[in-house]
Structure 1
């Protein structure tokens, strides 16, 4: 069973469409002929973004690397978004070079992301280079075998947060990551794909009902409520450690 793709014909929400157009103009001006293509992913791509809460997440593909003006261009895009579109929480930009994307080694990373998580908004759509994907352990492990690394990063961010806003922001991100990684653990058995974190948690519980309390607590973190650091760190340590071990066990069993 092939995984679904996002309908590229469905229009973006009116709160976000003007910013997408402005960002494309800015990228074209800053990169010129080096710009190959631009993609939107995340809630804006799925047309489920929430004004005042959602980021605009982008992938920018260039023909050659552009390290010399990369920071300046990205900061300019973020500044213009902040000034003109305060209802957009922020702009996140991932960059790549065509040769790295359209590569057999990238089939489960860039290939899967562009095919099933993105919408091309400018240039030649590189997702056409890849066929349809089916739910598999290969997809799950390529996206989540580094779970231990980002658990460490966000555990530190939460422990060192200096304000409620910093704390809540880190809590929401780690909750999303843990819920999605939880479903990815069972995706090869469930044979579907979900991006919505709440859906991920709900389906995961069909296979691991003993984790009901942990999934409920992740849902609370995702809601944006301020939770004491000690409780969040405890959840990361206990559930995160279990998740890491499950990935290791499954990889050992399936290979």
Structure 2
């Protein structure tokens, strides 16, 4: 994949269709077998992240999946899916975590979600099983509007992580949550991309590189979260304080950018 992740015509590159690394093939076969039961109501299973890009590291990387359901999920169905997720995680030590992002077909195809769900499936995911809804969308060029649509929930999600970290009663659980929160905050820095930016980050390192171009004085702060996203080890109070401070700074910058856009 190009370092800019943009093709010669200015469109965001889609995740490669090259074969998945053989180390993860049994896991993906298990995923499809476990989730394709008709009574679960799945419309499609999509792969994203390092396994989708074929640059994952066995025993180190996560398995990131987007599940699109035919209908909005009920509470009992979400419980069943969580049980399947945990079982997959336990059966497959080649990944350290299995993540499900869950939505419905109506959500994906709603016109107001074109710059979020549409871009996500079109350029960040590859369909493993079922209906490939990415075919419903034209290719997209990078824009700040899309970056904001994909990450507009960052304050809500990170506040949730802070609450869960505070309630964690065991260090392994706390460190896992710090790792997940760090991944989210690094990706969420994309809401602060400039309108003039011509690259489209995919990896955490690419997100950091793009962010630092605009905010070089924040390199120490964002580097902390990049490290925690790979090797979480910070004390809980230290991590929480840093995350609260960085979130508040990001929210101020984001609000100022929106105000500046409105004024022009």
TM-score normalised by the chain length of structure 1: 0.89
- 1:228 is aligned to 235
Alignment deviations for residues 116-171 of structure 1 (CA, whole Å, 9 cap, x no partner): 11001112311111111111121122122322212321222223322221221122
Asked if 1:176 is matched to 2:176, the reply is no
Asked if 1:71 is matched to 2:78, the reply is yes
- SS at 1:178's partner residue? helix
- Using the TM superposition, give the Cα deviation of residue 248 of structure 1 relative to its aligned residue in structure 2, in angstroms: 1.0
Q: 1:190 to 1:21 in 2, by over 3 A?
A: same
- 1:217 is aligned to 224
Q: 1:241 to 1:235 in 2, by over 3 A?
A: same
- 2:162 is aligned to 155
Of the candidates 17, 21, 28, which is equivalent to residue 20 of structure 1? 28
Give the 5 Å matches for 1:122-137: 122-137=129-144
Q: Distance in 1 between matches of 2:247 and 2:128?
A: 36
Q: CA RMSD in A?
A: 2.1
Q: Which runs of 5+ in 1 are unaligned?
A: none
Q: Distance in 2 between matches of 1:69 and 1:236?
A: 33
Q: Which runs of 5+ in 2 are unaligned?
A: 1-9
Q: 1:203 to 1:97 in 2, by over 3 A?
A: closer
Q: 1:3 to 1:246 in 2, by over 3 A?
A: same
Q: 1:84 to 1:160 in 2, by over 3 A?
A: closer
Greater shift after overlay, 67-76 or 238-247? 67-76
Greater shift after overlay, 76-85 or 34-43? 76-85
Q: Distance in 2 between matches of 1:66 and 1:155?
A: 26
Of the candidates 1, 19, 22, which is equivalent to residue 11 of structure 1? 19
Between Structure 1 and Structure 2, how many residues are aligned? Answer: 253
- 1:94 is aligned to 101
Q: Distance in 2 between matches of 1:49 and 1:102?
A: 30
Q: Distance in 2 between matches of 1:83 and 1:251?
A: 44
Q: Distance in 1 between matches of 2:153 and 2:245?
A: 17
Q: 1:135 to 1:187 in 2, by over 3 A?
A: farther
- Using the TM superposition, give the Cα deviation of residue 186 of structure 1 relative to its aligned residue in structure 2, in angstroms: 1.2
Q: Are the equivalent residues in 2 in contact too, given 1:81–1:88 (CA < 8 A)? A: no
- 1:246 is aligned to 253
Q: Are the equivalent residues in 2 in contact too, given 1:135–1:188 (CA < 8 A)? A: no
Greater shift after overlay, 108-117 or 140-149? 140-149
TM-score normalised by the chain length of structure 2: 0.86
